Structure 1
């Protein structure tokens, strides 16, 4: 695949902050475009975005430096080079950057180019993006895990925990699963309104009310599931991402938005155990912080046979860190975020490593999302079985749902909906 032109520009993400968009045109006229998302609660070991730090533009968040890197150094270095695979192109970018965390060119620039190349290649072959990413005989359409109540760093409310999600898994298809989820989402809005709660939404489209407790978030969701005509645990279950790395202070976890209470790792594990027994929770992401490796081991021993324990901040979609986590018996699932590692190739390597070691993979968006729908194709390509891309509103979120509806329709009998199989431990 000979690249004729690479160009980049500064565009906006869902928060109205700048991010990098790249376009690639191949010698045969095929084209592809990619946009890099951005996170708010980020892991310490994530690949590094390149920002301008110019206070006079976008409060220092501009990305003109990253754009310039693509338009100048990267474009010149590519020249008329041929790349025979996605891996060849991505490793070219990695080697050109020359750092361990992509800080020189910027992971936001590198990822945008990586996505653009994948789309251009798919266009050249006249195949769908998911098939360009991974060619297989049968694909799995994922269960959507919809973030219906936001807290933590994603909302200006009093909830310490970041994401309360519903997983409408008992359905014959993705299309019907989304219908179920949306019905609960709209029922929840009316229910919150009837209780006198605020129904504005947070960064990921979930409602962001001030509630009496973190537990009330789950209880009001369960009430909405009932009111929508479904049975919690049978038709629709609960997934939680408390984002506890944000709560970690001096070896303890601080309920920093509500009571200011401090608890140990053991006490937080006991809380999760209590919740799992009390509520139909099937997935717990980042139940402990990224630097609490000992706590993670204890949590995996205590809860690993009861629930899907997803590592986000602790793994950062990094194959080297994931390998160490597998060796130590940390969790049983890996959150997959493209911009945590910075290229499609490294992302697919992370998924392959996890799946070969019987870990689940949970494909994820970022809180600063874009209209780019690549994670919809990625979750199908990898047969990961479940995806989180936000709530039942905001176009940068539902764009991924709409893409999955199209993919399911296109594949027909060559795919099946993950449904209940996703959450069997």
Structure 2
């Protein structure tokens, strides 16, 4: 009897399990899908039967979601600590690593800052990197768990919302502590004020401070950011790469789709602005104006030919410097550029033109020049003037004629980057009116953070274009939004690397995906620079094979003129009377 009851129980359990199986497979439409794929496979007769089945069932799997975000401290090209992020997703029920991205670090101060400031910045960088890694491994991985990696905007919104929340909490805590200190000081016994000694100024001499003060427009102070903000840049890049991997498309295509350009079937390769010479105020020599001299190939050339030309010019410059200055002339900086000690701007420009001519090329036809002036670094606040050379000072108005003269003497110059400070907005407008017909006026430092540019746009500084950099709190979504704003203003976009770069090739795909006109990755030297140029070459080759490549026909200079003033009340009344 006991054996019979056990057998009945076993049969009942087996029957119930069969019923659950029937319900499970029916609920998930397994029989219908099996029948469908078997019928399709029979008619199509694929060579790889199991590969066909694998592709079919993968298309029916649940979409991948972010499962884990991991952060770690690594080093950039200058040996400085920075943040790296990994993205792991759940796909087909299993956890899988999808992407790794490293944030480029940014140096707020120029290279010639005092040692104390440099040490303070290094300490702050170390603390901020550690805070970013902790944020990624803690609250960010929790916030992004289960989010679709192909939805770049949602991911970036989650990241920035969390950072803004943490910053608000930190600011409130700091304010509470400040008020507490003030209250404690007020509760202390008041001290007798020290008697002020009367100072008698010598007869006939004015008291100190009695002279008329000069109003000086000072440079904007360093913007306070949340210490862990670089987590946003690293995670945004890593998720963008994961999204492309999930969709099984080229990364630049994924960026293009994220920008809302779903039906784009042709891409235009950005033109390389290749750095060849560096100088500026922090460098030796009396010349201050040219911080960076860049060269560009002729528009319309295939990228591989253009890169070959500018690379030949770069190496020819090195040979000329070696013949003129010996081994020291061949030294390069962190950017890969040569750094000769020259006293005049003409020496740099003549050197480049000599190198171009030696290769039987023509300046202004085969090779063009761009100047990164970094005007904010050569401005003397006490004198309210720009020190273009040691001892040579120019007012902002003088700078217009100064630039016009240089461009007239060297017509190969087709771009000026940061020719004036942000504070000289009126003169900036006059400069654009004077030169924008034949020269790009591009803002880089005047638009310090992409997030602010998205909020404010060009503002009072209407320019031919803007140079966008991906670092700190900048996300992929903000780069896309900024590029859209620039395009709506009929201006051009340049994608630039920063001094503390990494070997990641992210920026190359980003530039192609958003349709940037120029890229500024540094010299054709050093691994972190060359990796991006090589990636551009690979993208160009792929697009050419697929018939999706379009080349630039020529330089199109967006003419920027001051806005037309509204008509006066008297003019309006005259017009009304004539009617």
Q: What TM-score do you get using the length of structure 2 for normalisation?
A: 0.67
Equivalent residues in 2 for 1:20-419 (5 A)? 20-28=83-91, 29=96, 31-40=98-107, 59-62=123-126, 63-82=129-148, 85-98=151-164, 99=167, 103-104=225-226, 106-135=228-257, 136-152=264-280, 155=283, 158-160=286-288, 161-170=290-299, 172-196=301-325, 198-250=329-381, 252-255=384-387, 258-279=389-410, 280-318=412-450, 321=453, 324=456, 326=458, 328=460, 330-339=462-471, 342-412=474-544, 413-418=547-552
More helix per residue: 1 or 2? 2
Moved more, 335-344 or 364-373: 335-344
Deviation at 1:390, TM superposition (A): 0.4
Aligned 8 A contact 2:86 2:97 in 1: no
Q: Secondary structure at the match of 1:9?
A: strand
Moved more, 139-148 or 95-104: 95-104
Gaps of 5+ in 1: 44-52
CA distance in 1, matches of 2:434, 2:473: 30
Question: 1:329/1:33 Cα in 2 relative to 1: closer, same or farther (>3 Å)?
Answer: same
CA distance in 1, matches of 2:84, 2:415: 33
Which digits, 9 at most, give the CA deviation of each residue in 1:67-103, with x for residues without a partner? 1111112122333344561000001111001159793
CA distance in 2, matches of 1:324, 1:282: 27
Question: 1:350/1:317 Cα in 2 relative to 1: closer, same or farther (>3 Å)?
Answer: farther
Aligned 8 A contact 1:333 1:360 in 2: yes
Gaps of 5+ in 2: 1-63, 111-116, 169-222, 258-263, 560-579
Question: 1:186/1:392 Cα in 2 relative to 1: closer, same or farther (>3 Å)?
Answer: same
CA distance in 1, matches of 2:249, 2:284: 43
Deviation at 1:368, TM superposition (A): 1.4
CA distance in 2, matches of 1:66, 1:157: 39
Deviation at 1:194, TM superposition (A): 1.4
Deviation at 1:424, TM superposition (A): 7.4
Aligned 8 A contact 1:7 1:22 in 2: yes
Moved more, 209-218 or 102-111: 102-111
CA distance in 2, matches of 1:410, 1:237: 27
Which digits, 9 at most, give the CA deviation of each residue in 1:21-75, with x for residues without a partner? 11111212351111111233579xxxxxxxxx99799655322121111111212
Deviation at 1:330, TM superposition (A): 1.8
Question: 1:391/1:253 Cα in 2 relative to 1: closer, same or farther (>3 Å)?
Answer: farther
CA distance in 1, matches of 2:543, 2:418: 33
Deviation at 1:311, TM superposition (A): 0.8
Question: 1:122/1:58 Cα in 2 relative to 1: closer, same or farther (>3 Å)?
Answer: same
Moved more, 187-196 or 70-79: 70-79
Which digits, 9 at most, give the CA deviation of each residue in 1:129-168, with x for residues without a partner? 1111113211111211111001237755554221100001
Q: Secondary structure at the match of 2:368?
A: strand
Aligned 8 A contact 1:269 1:299 in 2: yes
CA distance in 2, matches of 1:157, 1:124: 52
Q: Secondary structure at the match of 2:101?
A: strand
CA distance in 2, matches of 1:14, 1:340: 16
CA distance in 2, matches of 1:71, 1:330: 41
CA distance in 1, matches of 2:100, 2:515: 24
Question: 1:105/1:32 Cα in 2 relative to 1: closer, same or farther (>3 Å)?
Answer: farther
Aligned partner of 2:173 in structure 1 is none
Aligned 8 A contact 1:154 1:367 in 2: no
Whose radius of gyration is greater, 1 or 2?
A: 2
Matched residues, number = 415
Greater relative contact order structure (CA < 8 Å, 6+ sep): 1
Moved more, 82-91 or 322-331: 322-331
Question: 1:154/1:56 Cα in 2 relative to 1: closer, same or farther (>3 Å)?
Answer: closer
Root-mean-square deviation (Å): 2.6
CA distance in 2, matches of 1:383, 1:76: 34
CA distance in 1, matches of 2:281, 2:149: 40
CA distance in 1, matches of 2:404, 2:291: 18
Question: 1:111/1:131 Cα in 2 relative to 1: closer, same or farther (>3 Å)?
Answer: same
Question: 1:422/1:391 Cα in 2 relative to 1: closer, same or farther (>3 Å)?
Answer: farther
Deviation at 1:300, TM superposition (A): 1.6
Question: 1:154/1:296 Cα in 2 relative to 1: closer, same or farther (>3 Å)?
Answer: same
